[in-house]
């Protein structure tokens, strides 16, 4: 029977066998699939990088594709781990300003998104079961019950559309099986790790099947707050999934999906990294606290007062002084303000695939998703109130995609329509010690409250697109591909922003409708502001097969990332209008080779050159981080991936990348505290990156199989901001080592794995943030220390 379902990653020697997505219908017999792969380790890999099933070695795109079994083998259990096995990719789950642990900060080939807030769109698109996720918060997810993952590097603007200028990440869930069965697994480990996961296939009849899965994960944090003993960086959440599949005929396939995820955690594991003792805010709070020798040049202090002078905090071990004596090391936090990270996400989708005839297929994908999250952080990580952010956001999105695919001996094509609608409501409050007016200083010196920014903002996006891409096989060896996509997008913003003095808590009710006496500025924007973005993007490629197992390609692709509105303000903007920013674009040329050498070696390599224009970067005007189009850059690089399996027991895989970025055509931002210079590097763009894994399976006569494996990952030094702040950067290269030992009994369904992460106990940062010129603080997140886990699974 012909299966009209989304095919993702296939493993088969003759290219005609079952895909992993379909093979998952055998129920949770993922271990059986792993055993088959160990018999024939180098099988063909088929991906959907061009929205149709193709051999990876025939696709003129740089793709890292891994089945669920390959992910488990390489110890990749969440999207956050993907950069350990993907060249030119950086991934962390801690946003610089959001305070949320589920916020995906993803960069591919130097392009991504630093600040995962609703006003800013991602630079790398996430697609869960063919559905685009509009927000980055929630994209940092565990791999529960998935079939495969594909990472597409480089612009994907033709078939995937907006906000894929860096690339795209495709996650496909398993489909219901045709027989009753299931899997149950559990894991225990350091830091009181506890994880349980279960899945069951419930076939109703030959045409209808149901698959249900559930998983929960809990783990203590690895950073401790001295103030209240709270652990930061903890994990506490659960996920539920359900998939219903109906195949009433050979030509019709209907799939309904629903998922729910909830997380309730303590907050991101940032720690103090440093204070600029000549910045205004540390000086103000130190003078107010009575720090001996601290000075500030603000009224009501006047010349002659020993506390009046240039901003200065002495380097003395006095708790009244905001200085670097609050550095408590990489795993201790000195903050006292509340911290919290929560996430709740629900999604549903329906996919209908209708095979009209042997050449045409019509596919409809309808989806709805909503997310609610909070992120509360003590940004300075000290007992002082330099700055605290409290973020609450609620989003809902609806999307509809129609695709018509055509296939013949020489011509392959796809044409489609896409609609996306998203509404987001944000509430942000920022208590901080910053002077909006001289009375604030007098109040602070007398023990009064500080000031508080309060923002209520509604944001909306409505986007429509039409796209097409066609491939013509000129000969058996030569193929030409071209595609275009036209996008029309409207963005809307309506909001109210206050600067409250004194810093009332909770919010005043009713909200004021006039300037607050002796307070900061108040400005109201009752009107809805609109920005329109229209863009034509395209792609073209030429492939040539020099031999059946050796293909080369030359390709061009471009994409754009939407512009929008800034939503953070500490003072009125000109004419009280929001500050907007334009879309950014990437154009890329790529030359690649994909080759299979004999039956044991597969390697793919590419060299590329990208032009990055109108880059959206965060600058600080005073204390406020705003997004501006800062200029342009060029990004050139080289990538290689390989798999080597000389026999049935040994497998070696790895890859590396080299990136050379150069910032050009700099646009100076008036009043910005940190500017980009020609010698600066783009954030999250290490020059060198690599990974290598080696596994070997020992088979014993009593039916046992023992498989040890070691994975090594290397990342060159890198900056976490456009200003290249060394205080909060990864200033040295880092090499991490992970290892596992799996004992299984093929045919019985059980397996046990002992795993160790960061075995050499490397101390290295994964995120950093600083506002040194005014607020004066620098904060950083370090990776979790060496840890061990023991897991067991049983397939029935």
pLDDT in tens, 656-689: 999 999 988 888 777 776 667 778 899 999 999 9
The rounded distance, in Å, linking the Cα atoms of 396 and 566 is: 20
> 259 lies in a domain?
yes
* pLDDT tier at 64, thresholds 50, 70, 90: very high
Q: Show the DSSP H helices in 261-312 as ranges.
A: 280-289
**pLDDT of 448-503, one tens digit each?**
556 667 778 899 999 999 999 999 999 999 999 999 999 999 999 987 766 655 55
pLDDT of residue 447: 60
Report the alpha-carbon distance of residue 623 to residue 43 in Å, rounded: 55
Instruction: Point out which residues pair with 186 in neighbouring strands.
Output: 196, 792
Identify any residues that bridge with 777 across adjacent strands, giving them in sequence order: 275, 771
Q: Does residue 318 sit within a domain?
A: no
Contact 738, 711 (CB under 8 A): yes
Question: Within a 13 Å sphere around the CA of 121, how many CA atoms are in the beta-carbon half?
Answer: 32
DSSP code of residue 327: -
Q: Into how many domains does the chain fold? A: 1
Cα separation, 608 vs 61, in Å, equals 11
> Mean pLDDT over residues 766-785, rounded?
92
**CATH number where 610 lies:** 2.40.170.20
Task: Measure the CA–CA gap between 747 and 744, rounded to whole angstroms.
Answer: 9
Decide: residue 370, CB within 10 A, 0-12 exposed, 13-18 middle, 19+ buried: middle
Q: How confident is the model at residue 14 (pLDDT cuts 50, 70, 90)?
A: very low
**So what's the pLDDT on residue 757?**
97
Residue 299 within any structural domain of the chain: no
- Per 3-state DSSP, what percentage of the chain is helix, strand, and coil (rounded to 5)? 5, 55, 40
Nearest to 385 by CA among 428, 334, 438: 334
Helix-helix angle 438-445:280-289, to 10 degrees: 40
Residue 2 lies in a domain: no
Q: Residue 784 has what DSSP assignment?
A: P
Virtual torsion, Cα 102, 103, 104, 107, nearest 10 deg:
-150
Instruction: Say if residues 520 and 569 touch (Cβ distance below 8 Å).
Output: no
Identify the burial level of 774 via C-beta atoms within 10 angstroms of its C-beta, where 0-12 means exposed, 13-18 middle and 19 or more buried. Answer: buried
Separation CA 676–CA 772 (nearest Å): 15
Question: In sequence order, what are the residues at sequence separation of 6 or more whose Cβ sits closer than 8 angstroms to the Cβ of residue 600?
Answer: 42, 644, 645, 646
Q: Are strands 332-333 and 223-225 parallel, antiparallel or unpaired?
A: parallel
Range of the domain at 446: 10-276+323-795
Tell me the pLDDT tens digit for each residue of 585-595. Answer: 999 999 999 99
Task: Report the DSSP beta bridge partners of residue 561.
Answer: 584
- 294 in a structural domain: no
Q: Is residue 669 situated within a structural domain?
A: yes
Helices H / strands E in the chain, number of each: 5, 44
Is 134 inside any structural domain?
A: yes
CB 558 within 8 A of CB 612: no
How high is the pLDDT of residue 451?
A: 65
In a domain, 261, yes or no: yes
**Entry pTM:** 0.90
């Amino acid at each position: 029977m012909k299966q009209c379902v989304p095919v993702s990653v296939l493993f088969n020697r003759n290219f005609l066998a079952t895909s992993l997505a379909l093979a998952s219908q055998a129920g949770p017999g993922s271990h059986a699939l792993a055993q088959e792969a160990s018999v024939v380790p180098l099988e063909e890999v088929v991906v959907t990088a061009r929205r149709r099933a193709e051999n990876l070695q025939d696709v003129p795109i740089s793709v890292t594709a891994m089945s669920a079994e390959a992910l488990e083998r390489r110890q990749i259990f969440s999207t956050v781990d993907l950069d350990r096995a993907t060249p030119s990719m950086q991934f962390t789950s801690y946003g610089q300003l959001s305070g949320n642990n589920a916020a995906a900060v993803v960069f591919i080939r130097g392009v991504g998104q630093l600040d995962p807030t609703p006003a800013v769109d991602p630079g790398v698109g996430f697609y869960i079961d063919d559905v685009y996720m509009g927000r980055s918060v929630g994209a940092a997810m565990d791999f529960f019950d998935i079939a495969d993952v594909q990472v597409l590097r480089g612009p994907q603007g033709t078939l995937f559309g907006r906000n894929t200028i860096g690339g795209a990440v495709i996650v496909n869930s398993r489909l219901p099986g045709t027989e009753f069965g299931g899997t149950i697994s559990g894991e225990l480990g350091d830091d009181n790790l506890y994880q349980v996961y279960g899945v069951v296939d419930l076939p109703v009849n030959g045409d209808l099947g149901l698959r249900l899965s559930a998983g929960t994960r809990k783990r203590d944090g690895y950073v401790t707050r001295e103030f209240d003993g709270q652990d930061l960086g903890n994990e506490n959440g659960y996920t539920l999934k359900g998939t219903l599949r109906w195949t009433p005929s050979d030509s019709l396939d209907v799939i309904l999906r629903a998922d729910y995820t909830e997380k309730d955690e303590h907050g991101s594991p940032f720690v103090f990294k440093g204070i600029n003792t000549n910045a205004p805010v540390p000086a103000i709070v130190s003078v107010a606290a009575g720090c001996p020798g601290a000075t500030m040049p603000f009224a009501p202090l006047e010349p002659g007062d020993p506390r009046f002078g240039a901003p200065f905090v002495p380097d003395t071990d006095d708790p009244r002084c905001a200085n670097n004596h609050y550095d408590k090391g990489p795993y201790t936090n000195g903050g006292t303000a509340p911290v919290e990270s929560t996430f709740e996400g629900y999604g549903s989708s329906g996919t209908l695939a209708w095979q009209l005839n042997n050449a045409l297929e019509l596919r409809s994908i309808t989806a709805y998703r909503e997310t609610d999250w909070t992120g509360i952080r003590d940004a300075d990580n000290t007992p002082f109130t330099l700055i605290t952010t409290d973020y609450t956001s609620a989003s809902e999105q609806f999307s509809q995609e129609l695709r018509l695919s055509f296939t013949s001996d020489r011509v392959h094509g796809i044409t489609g329509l896409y609609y996306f609608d998203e509404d987001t409501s944000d509430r942000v409050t920022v208590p901080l010690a910053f002077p909006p007016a001289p009375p604030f200083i007098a109040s602070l010196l007398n023990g009064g409250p500080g000031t508080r920014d309060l923002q209520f903002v509604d944001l909306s996006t409505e986007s429509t697109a039409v796209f097409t891409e066609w491939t013509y096989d000129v000969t058996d060896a030569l193929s030409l591909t071209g595609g275009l996509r036209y996008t029309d997008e409207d963005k809307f913003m309506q909001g109210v922003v206050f600067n409250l003095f004194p810093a009332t808590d909770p919010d005043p009710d009713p909200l004021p409708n006039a300037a607050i006496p002796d307070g900061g500025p108040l400005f109201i924007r009752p009107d809805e502001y609109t920005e329109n973005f229209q863009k034509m993007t395209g792609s073209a490629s030429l492939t040539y097969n020099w031999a059946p197992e050796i293909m080369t390609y030359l390709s061009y692709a471009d994409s754009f990332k939407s512009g929008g509105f800034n939503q953070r303000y500490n003072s009125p903007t000109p004419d009280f209008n929001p500050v907007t920013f334009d879309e950014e674009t990437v154009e890329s040329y790529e030359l690649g080779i994909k080759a299979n050498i004999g039956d044991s070696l597969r390697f793919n390599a590419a060299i590329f050159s990208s032009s990055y224009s109108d880059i959206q970067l965060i600058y600080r005007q005073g204390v406020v981080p705003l997004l501006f189009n800062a200029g342009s850059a060029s990004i050139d690089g080289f990538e290689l991936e390989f798999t080597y399996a000389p026999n049935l027991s040994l497998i070696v895989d790895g890859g590396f990348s080299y990136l050379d970025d150069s910032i050009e055509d700099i646009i100076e931002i008036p009043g910005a505290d940190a500017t980009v210079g020609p010698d600066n590097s783009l954030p999250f763009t290490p020059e060198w990156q690599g990974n290598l894994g080696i596994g070997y399976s020992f088979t014993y006569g009593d039916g046992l199989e023992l498989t040890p494996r070691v994975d090594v990952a290397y990342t060159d030094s890198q900056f976490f901001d456009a200003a290249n702040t060394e205080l909060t950067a990864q200033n040295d290269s880092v090499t991490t080592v992970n290892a596992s030992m799996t004992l299984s009994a093929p045919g019985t369904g059980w397996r046990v794995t002992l795993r160790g992460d960061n075995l050499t106990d490397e101390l290295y940062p994964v995120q950093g943030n600083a506002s040194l010129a005014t607020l004066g603080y620098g904060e950083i997140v370090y990776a979790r220390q060496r840890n061990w886990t023991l897991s067991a699974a049983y397939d029935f």
